[in-house]
Structure 1
Amino acid sequence: MTTLSNARVSELFEQYFDVAPSGCVKAPGRVNLIGEHTDYNGGFVLPAAINYHTYIAFAPRAERQLRVVAHNINQQIAFVDLDAQQAHDQDAPWNNYIRGVVQELRKAGFQLAGGDLYIAGDLQSGAGLSSSASLEMALIRALTSLSGESVEPTQAALIGQAAENHFVGCNCGIMDQLISARGQANAALLIDCQDLGVRTVPVPADWEILIVHSGVKRGLVDSEYNQRRLQCEQVARFFNQSSLRGVSLDQLLAAEQQLDELSFRRARHVLTENQRTLAAADALAAGDLTGLVKVMAESHASMRDDFNITTPAIDALVEILQKAGDGKAGARMTGGGFGGCVVAVAPAAVIAQLMVAVEAQYQQQTGCVPTLIRAIASPGAFS
Structure 2
Amino acid sequence: MSTPAQAAQALFELTYDTVPTAMFKAPGRVNLIGGHTDYNEGLVLPAAINFHTVIAVSPNSDNCINAVSARFGAEVQSWQISSEEQQDNDNAPWFNYLIGLCRSFLLTGLDIKGMNVAIASNVPLNAGLASSAALEIAFAMALSEQNQLHLSNLALAQLAQRSEYQYVGFECGLMDQMISACAREDHAMMIDCMDMSAKPIEIPDNLSLLIFMPTQPLKRSADDYHLRQHECAQAAQHFGVESLRELTLSQLEQGKASLSPTLYKRALHVLGENARVYSAGKALQRGQLAKFSQIMAQAHESMRDNFELSVPQIDQLVDSINQVVGDKGGVRITGGGVGGCVVALIDHDYTEAVFSAVEGEFSKQTGVDVTTFICHPSDGVHQLSIEQA
TM range (shorter): over 0.9
Q: Give the aligned partner of residue 386 of structure 2.
A: none
CA contact (8 A) 1:310 1:339 kept: no
For residues 4 and 221 of structure 1, the distance between their equivalents in structure 2, rounded to whole angstroms, comes to 32
- Report how far residue 80 of structure 1 moved: 1.3
Q: Give the aligned partner of residue 44 of structure 1.
A: 43
Q: Deviations over 1:90-116 (max 9, x none)?
A: 222212111111111111122111111
Q: Give the aligned partner of residue 177 of structure 1.
A: 177
Percent of paired sites with the same residue? 36
Q: Give the aligned partner of residue 316 of structure 1.
A: 316
Which amino acid in 1 is paired with 2:270?
V
Q: Give the aligned partner of residue 70 of structure 2.
A: 71
Q: Give the aligned partner of residue 10 of structure 1.
A: 9
- Report how far residue 352 of structure 1 moved: 2.0
CA contact (8 A) 1:86 1:99 kept: no
Q: Give the aligned partner of residue 94 of structure 1.
A: 94
TM normalised by structure 2 equals 0.95
CA contact (8 A) 2:9 2:20 kept: yes
Q: Deviations over 1:253-302 (max 9, x none)?
A: 22111101111111111000011100100011111100110010010010
- Report how far residue 5 of structure 1 moved: 4.3
Q: Give the aligned partner of residue 362 of structure 1.
A: 362
Q: Deviations over 1:195-220 (max 9, x none)?
A: 00111110111112001112243655
Question: Which deviates further from its counterpart, 343-352 or 264-273?
Answer: 343-352
Q: Give the aligned partner of residue 110 of structure 1.
A: 110
Q: Deviations over 1:317-373 (max 9, x none)?
A: 111111111321210011122343110001222222211211112221222221100
- Pairing 1:1-383 to 2, within 5 Å after superposition: 4-83=3-82, 84-217=84-217, 219-382=219-382
CA contact (8 A) 1:127 1:218 kept: no
CA contact (8 A) 1:126 1:217 kept: no
Which amino acid in 2 is paired with 1:19?
T
- Report how far residue 148 of structure 1 moved: 2.2
Question: Which deviates further from its counterpart, 174-183 or 325-334?
Answer: 325-334
Question: Secondary structure at the residue paired with 2:28?
Answer: strand
Question: Secondary structure at the residue paired with 2:337?
Answer: coil
Question: Secondary structure at the residue paired with 2:76?
Answer: strand
CA contact (8 A) 2:222 2:338 kept: no
Which amino acid in 2 is paired with 1:77?
V
Q: 1:185 to 1:3 in 2, by over 3 A?
A: farther
Question: Secondary structure at the residue paired with 1:50?
Answer: strand
Q: 1:226 to 1:3 in 2, by over 3 A?
A: farther
For residues 56 and 2 of structure 2, the distance between their equivalents in structure 1, rounded to whole angstroms, comes to 16
Q: Deviations over 1:2-23 (max 9, x none)?
A: 6724244212311222211111
Q: Deviations over 1:85-144 (max 9, x none)?
A: 232222222121111111111111221111110011000011100001111000111122
Gaps of 5+ in 2: 384-389
For residues 25 and 351 of structure 1, the distance between their equivalents in structure 2, rounded to whole angstroms, comes to 33
Which amino acid in 2 is paired with 1:234?
Q
Q: 1:216 to 1:340 in 2, by over 3 A?
A: farther
Question: Secondary structure at the residue paired with 2:157?
Answer: helix
CA contact (8 A) 2:8 2:70 kept: no
Which amino acid in 2 is paired with 1:17?
Y
Question: Secondary structure at the residue paired with 2:201?
Answer: strand
CA contact (8 A) 1:311 1:338 kept: no
Gaps of 5+ in 1: none
Question: Secondary structure at the residue paired with 1:87?
Answer: coil
CA contact (8 A) 1:321 1:329 kept: no
CA contact (8 A) 1:221 1:336 kept: no
Question: Which deviates further from its counterpart, 351-360 or 259-268?
Answer: 351-360
Question: Secondary structure at the residue paired with 1:73?
Answer: coil
